[in-house]
Structure 1
Amino acid sequence: MKLKLSLLALLSALLIYSCGEDGDPTTDFPEPTVTAPSVIINIEAGSGDHTVDFAVAVANGLTATYTATATGVSLISSASGNVTGNTVTISYTAPATPGAASITLTVTDSEGQTAQATAVISVLDEVNEVTIVSNITSDATWTADNTYILGGRITVVDGVTLTIEPGTVIKGQAGAGANATALLIARGGKLIAEGTAEAPIIFTSVADEITPEQVASGNFSSPNLDPTINGLWGGVLILGKAPISASNEGTDVVEVQIEGIPTSDANGLYGGNDPADNSGSIRYVSIRHGGTNIGAGNEINGLTLGGVGSGTTIENIEVVANQDDGIEWFGGTVDVNNVLVWNVGDDGIDTDQAWSGTLDNFVVVTPTGHCFELDGPEGSAQAGHTIQNGTIVAGSDSRVAEDLINVDDNSIVDLKRLQFLGVVAGQRINRVTAAGVTFEDITIDVAPEDLASYVNGDVPAGVTAGRNLRADVSKLSWTWAAQTGALEGL
């Protein structure tokens, strides 16, 4: 009997164990996630109601609730509720006074797991906007405590100086054709725009929410526009009295109308006979989201330099997401140093009409036209320029340049110490037989056996395969591109 009872107990234990093995296993669900906006949200004191979106992810099969808490702002009616979809929108009201604020969203799923994230809000003084709707006909100073709105094509006329303080933000209204917005420095006018690495001067679109307070805090990135959005306004044009090489039906001319400005505007003339002409001083200036079209194939460059003389100082320039070229020279003698051209919609660097200056220390990142479009003289005057110490990123996963270097048969340019990175099949250095073009220490980051496929013709002696970074990117550490990591590894 005892043996039977023992066997019965053993069988019962095995039965219980077996039932436990066949039961539903415990499921481990991943924790929810909450993501707040990655940038500081800027709002004005007393500006009323606003919203902020949080991205939320909850495991399949689970439900979740959310709770929001705030400091510095007042929540309206969405402080708690059920999570539906992948976004939770929280409504809040701006306070009457400036200061720091935040909203924290906590999500709890039906397994009791939680996650949270915090949106950081900066409540700013009421923005002081000054809209400029007419030409500048007497000396003027634009200060960093205002945001200046270009209400059209604004010209600094002959004999007048416009001074722009460090940290000032200038925004162009939307407009195309004859209504394209731009800042034009006419021959004889001067622009003194001397920003600093700590407080650059920003030219951008009215669609950009960047503020002088944000610039003063050291954050130079747009809070709402991607660095690829272009064509939202015009650009900056500086015109001078230095020589150009141009012609009209085979006859040399001293002055011509700059592209991007209607021929009806005589302030668009450039060129002359003063190589040392002085159009001012432009330092630590970022020009963004421009290049609107004024006519078929006639867009405005980020920075246009027409007949600008050697008495002008231009250095530490950033051009971001311009629909046309980054910088284009039309003759003139001015030198330009420490330049970044990032994500432009046409050529990175474009030269015309026998510009005879030097571009030194620069980076060009993923234009979609030519990396370099280097045209020759258009009249009988012959002069050339030097482009040196540059790093060029010709392609990325999302953007690819049309080609590397494009010149005319009569181009005159010395190319020195240039590094091409990110090159892809089909990109080439063209017209290497142009007599006036020299190549010195140009490296392309490809295998030596593939080098010939990136040159249209025989490979010049000064062009080799390899990687030898040229630009001193420390001089560009102040730029939006640097702050977002776009210059890492260069």
Structure 2
Amino acid sequence: MRLLLICLLLPLSLAFLSCDEDDGGGPSLDTTDPTITIVQPADGATLAAGNILIRATATDDDEVDRVEFYVDGTKIGEDDDDALTVYEYTWNASAAAAGSHSIRARAVDASDNDASDTVAVTISGGAGPTYHSDNITTDEIWYKADNPHIVTQDIAVWEGGSLTIKPGCIVKFDEDAGIGCGWTTEGEIVAVGKADTTILFTSNETSPAPGDWEGFGFFEGTTSSTRFSYCTVEYAGAVDGQAIYVAWGGVLRMDHSTIRHGAGRGIYYEHAGHVEQFHDNTITDCGSFPLALDPEYVRHLGTGNDYTGNDEGYDAIEIYYGGVETNSTWLDQGVPYRITENSNVWVGTMEAPIILTIEAGTTIEFESNAEMTIGNVVLAGLIAEGTSTEPITFTSAAESPAPGDWNQVWIAADAVDAQCRLSYCVFEYGGGGGGGGGGSLWISSAVPDVEDCSFGYSSAYGIYVEGDAYPAPATLESENTFYGNASGEVGEAAP
């Protein structure tokens, strides 16, 4: 009996001792902060603008989860390789202002304990400031060594002039100053930076604000070699709001660049002015739409662009009245295309069929009384083939959408039937135009292929058909989905 009692009590004793040792029965809580030291650059170092390697050593009694790196209070990146004791990040300081900057490294362990170390460094300036106030009519080059470049008034690059801006240049603009290129005569601007040595165009104000300076204008004499690459344009838009204006046939090629803190639109183009080779750009924190353009030139918008973070309601690509007269693909840009109030975007030419292809996942928003027309007196086709997971959406631009907010997509008599295919599309809140009997999709003497689409909340019919030939209403009803349409699913004109 004594042996049995000992066997029963021994595990309980061990359990009691174990609970007593960890002060309550649960796993011990890690309250120990990690340690961290910045080992490069040295505190008080003077550095040239460009890529600056920041290195820090960090340890913890358990495990360092990550080390975050900050410059002047803004996080620039982190290193989360927990197999290391030396953590690093490269700061692209090519556009950093000359003067003192604070670098902080913050180590965080798995329990969110943290510790920081801070050093101060000085970014050396160039030989400047270098002032610019004269129009450019010959070949001129601006160098990083002459930073900062100060533009004191409007400058024209014209009459055969060429301005080359080298990587690492910092160009500041006085109040209401700007640069125009190719006004009535030939001009060229080549501002090509590098991934690690960008070009900065910014305000010369001590406390910069949107609209401090005008921005850039590119006009009919702009040469085909004009290009912005790895550039940042910020705080522009003093005249009419846009940071970059492209008009009268002017063309700007742009890649890997940023427009930010603008007073209005990022880029506005009209009268056949447009951008080409437009990819890997960011337009953010602007007071209006990132882009505003003629529908003919949507085809030049490439991949890798980011148009988010602008003022509320403006994260969209603004498209105004006009035609698509070249075979085009509208890519899903991650934000909607928005057709402006009272605008008709029409597709086609009288000489040859023009096909507009819309990529799966794309959203097209319509403001009041706006519409899209395919093949009215001109030859055209529309290929809008979404998928079950990435539908193509035609909808209202209103913050609180309602039936009849916009007119319709009209497939008219001169549409090429074989080039009109709609699948996995969503049509909502249309029917406001009253075309025929009214419908979000209006088919008039055409026989497009429409299947697996959804039609909802029209102020009239989901689809309205009329004319000499059109898809059978019963087929349209059976092959598509309808909901909440005021007049019904498919309306048919009287014979």
TM-score between both structures, scaled by the size of structure 1:
0.51
**1:181-200 superposed matches below 5 A:** 181-185=177-181, 186-188=183-185, 190-193=187-190, 195=192
- Paired AA for residue 187 in structure 2: K
Decide which of 109, 113, 124 is 1:126's aligned counterpart: 124
Cα-to-partner distance string for 1:249-278 (whole Å, 9 max, x where unaligned): xxxxxxxxxxxxxxxxxxxxxxxxxxxx45
Distance 2:253 2:45 in 1: 41
SS at match of 2:154: strand
Distance 1:323 1:425 in 2: 24
Alpha-carbon offset, residue 280 of structure 1 = 5.6
Please, which runs of 5 or more residues in structure 1 have no aligned partner?
Answer: 31-58, 74-91, 208-228, 241-276, 377-382, 396-400, 468-490
Matching of residues 253-402 of structure 1 within 5 Å: 277-279=221-223, 281-290=225-234, 292-294=236-238, 298-301=240-243, 303-308=244-249, 314=253, 316=255, 318-321=257-260, 322-332=262-272, 336-339=276-279, 342-344=282-284, 345=286, 346-351=288-293, 359-360=299-300, 362-363=302-303, 365-366=306-307, 368=314, 370-376=316-322, 386=326, 388-395=328-335, 401=336
Q: 408, 415, 422: which is aligned to 1:464?
A: 422
CA distance in 1 between partners of 2:392 and 2:359 (Å): 16
* In structure 2, distance between residues paired with 1:436 and 1:197: 48
The match for 1:43 is: none
Asked whether the 8 Å contact 2:345–2:372 carries over to 1, the reply is no
SS in 2 for 1:372: strand
Asked whether 1:440 is paired with 2:409, we answer: no
Partner of 2:16, secondary structure, is helix
Tell me, which stretches of 5 or more residues in structure 2 are unaligned? 68-86, 92-120, 309-313, 349-354, 397-405, 412-418, 426-495
Counterpart of 1:193, as a letter, is: V
- Secondary structure of the residue aligned to 2:13 is helix
Q: 1:325 aligns to what SS in structure 2?
A: coil
User: Cα 1:341–1:18, aligned 2, differ >3 Å: closer, same or farther?
Assistant: closer
Q: 1:25 to 1:457 in 2, by over 3 A?
A: same
Residue matched to 2:35 = 66
Q: 1:148-200: CA deviations, max 9, x gaps?
A: 53444431254251321553534344x6xxx2343222432512416388789
Question: 1:135 matched to which residue of 2?
Answer: 134
Aligned partners of 1:327 and 1:350 also within 8 Å: yes
Give me the whole-angstrom Cα distance separating, in 2, the residues matched to 1:7 and 1:358: 87
Q: How far 1:299 sits from its partner (Å)?
A: 0.2
**2: distance between equivalents of 1:340 and 1:67?**
36
Aligned to 1:113: 62
**Residue 114 of structure 1, CA deviation:** 4.8
CA shift at 1:136, angstroms? 2.8
Aligned-pair distance for 1:411?
6.0
The amino acid that maps onto 2:124 is E
Q: 1:14 to 1:390 in 2, by over 3 A?
A: closer
Whether the 8 Å contact between 2:132 and 2:150 is mirrored in structure 1 is yes
- Do structure 1's residue 180 and structure 2's residue 176 form an aligned pair? yes
Distance 1:180-1:358 versus aligned 2 partners, 3 A rule: same
* Contact 2:40 2:53 survives alignment (8 Å): yes
**How far apart, CA to CA, are the structure 1 residues paired with 2:387 and 2:210?**
29
- The alignment's C-alpha RMSD in Å is 5.0
2-structure distance, mates of 1:429, 1:443: 25
Aligned residues of 1:348 and 1:371 also touching (Cα < 8 A): yes
C-alpha distance 421-338 of structure 1, shift in aligned 2 (>3 A): same
Q: Deviations over 1:421-467 (max 9, x none)?
A: 36499889931248599663345567799856577414647573459
Shift of the alpha carbon at 1:141?
1.4
Partner SS for 2:264: coil
Which residue does 2:436 correspond to in 1?
A: none
3-state SS of 1:441 partner: strand
Structure 1 or 2: more strand by fraction: 2
Deviation at 1:103, TM superposition (A): 3.9
Pair 416,317 (structure 1): closer, same or farther in 2 beyond 3 Å? farther
Q: Do the aligned partners of residues 120 and 158 (structure 1) sit closer, same or farther apart at CA in structure 2, a change above 3 Å counting?
A: closer
Q: What do residues 201-223 of structure 1 show as CA deviations (whole Å, max 9, x unaligned)?
A: 7344369xxxxxxxxxxxxxxxx
Question: How far off is 1:71 after superposition?
Answer: 4.0
The answer to whether 1:404 aligns with 2:338 is yes
